[in-house]
Amino acid sequence: MPDEDVAPERVVASGADDVERAAEAALRPRRLAEFVGQRVVRDQLELVLHAAIGRGRAPDHLLLSGPPGLGKTTLAMIIAAELGTSVRVTSGPAIQHAGDLAAVLSSLEEGEVLFLDEIHRLARPAEELLYVAMEDFRVDVVVGKGPGANAIGLTLPPFTVVGATTRAGLLPAPLRDRFGFTGHLEFYDPDELRQVLVRSAGLLGVELEVAAAVEIAGRSRGTPRIANRLLRRVRDWAQVRGDGRLDLDAARAALEVYEVDVLGLDRLDRAVLGALCERFGGGPVGLTTLAVAVGEEPETVETVAEPFLVREGLMGRTPRGRVATPRAYEHLGLATPDAGQTLFD
Ligand SMILES: Nc1ncnc2c1ncn2[C@@H]1O[C@H](COP(=O)(O)OP(=O)(O)OP(=O)(O)O)[C@@H](O)[C@H]1O
C-alpha cells in the first residue's frame, strides 16, 4: 500500500488493502483499448509498444508515476498483455535484500515484464543491483561468505522493467535515467470516471442509471479506485435498503450513509476544514494545532486530508500555516469573514 494512505478504512482513501485489491482485479481493463482516459499516456505507450513489437524486441524500461488508484498497476498488466508476455510482480518494500531482487531477476524469462511497484522504496543495495540489470542485463550473484565469497556474473535475457511510483521526485537520478519512457498519470475528469463506472457496473452485472453514474463520478476525487469503491457501496445500499436499482436516489442515499459529500469530502476532510474556518478564523494556523483540534495525528491531516483539500482549492498552504479559501466557507455554508465584517462595519 502506498505510504500516504494510512487510513484504508476511509471510503474515499485512495489506497487499497489486500481484500480490496482482490475485488479490483475483476474490474481491471485488460487491454489498452479498454483503458479509459489518460489519452496522452495511452498514446505514448501505444507507440512504444507497437514499435517494440514491430522490431521483435523487448521495449525500453517504462516508468509510470502518479497518485494512488489512477491505474499504474492496471497499465503494467496491460503492457504485458499487449506485448503478449507474462508479468512478474513485486514491490520496493517487498524486497528486503539485494539477494531477493537478484533471485527475481535471474529467474526472468526472455521478454518478460517485471512490475516493480513503489519503486521509490527500494533499499539502496537493491537499487544499485537494479541499475546494472537494467542497463547491462547482468546480475552479480555472490556465492559463499567472508573472504572466500565470490561474485559470479549472470547474463540475463532481455526483459522490461515497468516501475510504478507515487513519488517520481524521490527516485535517484541514475535510476530515473534508466527508464526510456516515463508516463505521468493525471486525475480523471468526471466524464471519464462515469465511463469507468458504467464499465464496472457491466462487469458486476448491475444496471447503473446514467444520473447515478454522474453522481458517483462527481464524488470520486478524480480516482477510478474510489469510483469503483463507491459503486460497490451504492450496490450494497440498493440491495439492502433499496429495490435493487442503482438510480440517483440510491446513489445519494448510500453516499450520505458513508458521509461522502457532493465534492467527495468525507468526515475527516470536513472536520479539518470546519476547524480551520470556525475555530481559527480561516487561519493561518500550524499543522499540529489544526490536527489537535480535530483529534488526529498531524501526519494523517497532512497526507490524508490535505492534498485533496488543496487540490480542490478549499485550503491553501502558506509559510505561516494553513488557510481556508473563500470556496471552503461557501462549501461549508458559512459566511466568509469578510462578509461578516461588512455586516458589522
Ligand atoms: N483507466 C481506467 N479505466 C478503468 N478502470 C481503471 C482505470 N484506471 C484504474 N482503474 C481501476 O481502478 C482500480 C485501481 O487501479 P490500479 O490498482 O491500477 O491503481 P494504481 O495506480 O496501481 O494504485 P496504487 O498506486 O495504489 O497501486 C482498479 O480496479 C482498476 O481496474
pLDDT one-digit tens code per residue, 69-86: 999 999 999 999 999 999
Percentage helix, strand, coil, to 5, in the chain? 50, 15, 35
Identify the domain boundary among 257, 285, 307: 257
**Residue 240 is assigned to a structural domain of this protein:** yes
**Ligand 1 centroid to residue 225 C-alpha, Å:** 6
Percentage of the chain surpassing pLDDT 90?
Answer: 77
59 & 154 share domain: yes
Name the residues annotated as catalytic.
72-73, 117, 166, 225
Q: Which residues contact 203 (CB under 8 A, 6 or more apart)?
A: 26, 27
Residue 126: closest CA among 175, 58, 168 = 175
Nearest residue CA, atom 26 of ligand 1? 68
Q: Which has the minimum average pLDDT: 16-20, 136-140, 197-201, 250-254?
A: 16-20
Identify whether the C-beta of residue 160 lies closer than 8 Å to the C-beta of residue 39: no
b/e string for 1-13 if b means 16 or more Cβ within 10 A?
bbebbeeeebbbb
What CATH number is attached to the domain comprising 252? Answer: 1.10.8.60
Which helix H or strand E contains 138, and what residues bound it?
strand 138-143
Mean pLDDT, residues 234-253 taken together: 95
43 & 178 share domain: yes
68 & 165 share domain: yes
**Reported confidence tier of residue 96, pLDDT bands at 50, 70, 90:** confident
Backbone angles phi, psi at 142, to 5 degrees: -90, 125
Nearest residue CA, atom 9 of ligand 1? 71
**Ligand 1 centroid to residue 73 C-alpha, Å:** 6
82 & 53 share domain: yes
In the chain, what's the furthest Cα-to-Cα distance? 85
For 33-76, write each residue's pLDDT tens digit: 999 999 999 999 999 999 999 999 999 999 999 988 999 999 99
**Reported confidence tier of residue 246, pLDDT bands at 50, 70, 90:** very high
Mean pLDDT, residues 150-161 taken together: 91
Structural domain tally of the chain?
A: 3
Q: What distance in Å separates the CA atoms of residue 310 and residue 265, rounded to the nearest whole number?
A: 12
pLDDT exceeds 60 at position 6: no
**Residue 237 is assigned to a structural domain of this protein:** yes
The per-residue pLDDT for 192 is 97
Q: Is 54 annotated as a binding residue?
A: no
54 & 157 share domain: yes
Q: Which three cell numbers stand for residue 265?
A: 469530502
pLDDT exceeds 80 at position 3: no
Q: Which residues contact 170 (CB under 8 A, 6 or more apart)?
A: 120
Q: Which atom of ligand 1 is nearest to the CA of 37?
A: 1
Residues with CB under 6 A from ligand 1: 2, 15-16, 24, 27-29, 35-38, 68-74, 117, 166, 196, 224-225, 228
The per-residue pLDDT for 338 is 66
44 & 175 share domain: yes
Query: Helix, strand or coil for residue 12?
Result: coil
pTM: 0.88
**Residue 262 is assigned to a structural domain of this protein:** no
Report the mean per-residue pLDDT for the chain: 90
The per-residue pLDDT for 228 is 96
Q: What distance in Å separates the CA atoms of residue 203 and residue 192, rounded to the nearest whole number?
A: 17
**Residue 336 is assigned to a structural domain of this protein:** yes
Q: Is 136 annotated as a binding residue?
A: yes
Identify whether the C-beta of residue 229 lies closer than 8 Å to the C-beta of residue 20: yes
pLDDT exceeds 70 at position 4: no
**Residue 12 is assigned to a structural domain of this protein:** no
For 258-296, write each residue's pLDDT tens digit: 999 999 999 999 999 999 999 999 989 999 999 999 999
147 & 89 share domain: yes
What CATH number is attached to the domain comprising 301? Answer: 1.10.10.10
Q: Is 27 annotated as a binding residue?
A: yes
Q: Which three cell numbers stand for residue 247?
A: 438510480
Give first-to-last CA distance, the chain, whole Å.
52
Q: Is 31 annotated as a binding residue?
A: no
| CA 49 and chain centroid, separation | 23
The domain of 314 spans 267-341
69 & 172 share domain: yes
Nearest residue CA, atom 24 of ligand 1? 68
For a mutational test of ligand 1's pocket, the pick from 10, 65, 70, i.e. the residue with the most ligand atoms closer than 8 A to its C-beta, is 70
What CATH number is attached to the domain comprising 51? Answer: 3.40.50.300
Residue 212: closest CA among 224, 229, 230, 226 = 230
Q: Is 322 annotated as a binding residue?
A: yes
pLDDT exceeds 80 at position 342: no
* Residue, of 343 and 325, whose pLDDT is higher: 325
| Helices assigned H by DSSP within 160-286 | 173-177, 190-204, 210-218, 224-240, 248-257, 267-274
Backbone angles phi, psi at 116, to 5 degrees: -110, 95
199 & 125 share domain: no
Mean pLDDT, residues 319-332 taken together: 95
Would strands 113-117 and 160-165 be described as parallel, antiparallel, or unpaired? parallel
The per-residue pLDDT for 118 is 94
The per-residue pLDDT for 59 is 96
The per-residue pLDDT for 339 is 52
> What was the ipTM of the complex prediction?
0.96
DSSP string, 284-307: -B-HHHHHHHHTS-HHHIIIIIHH
**Ligand 1 centroid to residue 318 C-alpha, Å:** 32
**Residue 25 is assigned to a structural domain of this protein:** no
**Ligand 1 centroid to residue 293 C-alpha, Å:** 34
Identify whether the C-beta of residue 315 lies closer than 8 Å to the C-beta of residue 321: no
**Residue 9 is assigned to a structural domain of this protein:** no
The per-residue pLDDT for 216 is 98
Q: What distance in Å separates the CA atoms of residue 225 and residue 243, rounded to the nearest whole number?
A: 26
pLDDT exceeds 60 at position 345: no
**Residue 20 is assigned to a structural domain of this protein:** no
177 & 215 share domain: no
149 & 63 share domain: yes
Identify the domain boundary among 184, 205, 227: 184
Identify the domain boundary among 184, 217, 245: 184
Identify whether the C-beta of residue 240 lies closer than 8 Å to the C-beta of residue 250: no
The per-residue pLDDT for 25 is 84
Nearest residue CA, atom 8 of ligand 1? 71
167 & 295 share domain: no
Triad 20, 22, 26: Cα angle to 5°: 110
Percentage of the chain surpassing pLDDT 70?
Answer: 95
**Ligand 1 centroid to residue 326 C-alpha, Å:** 33
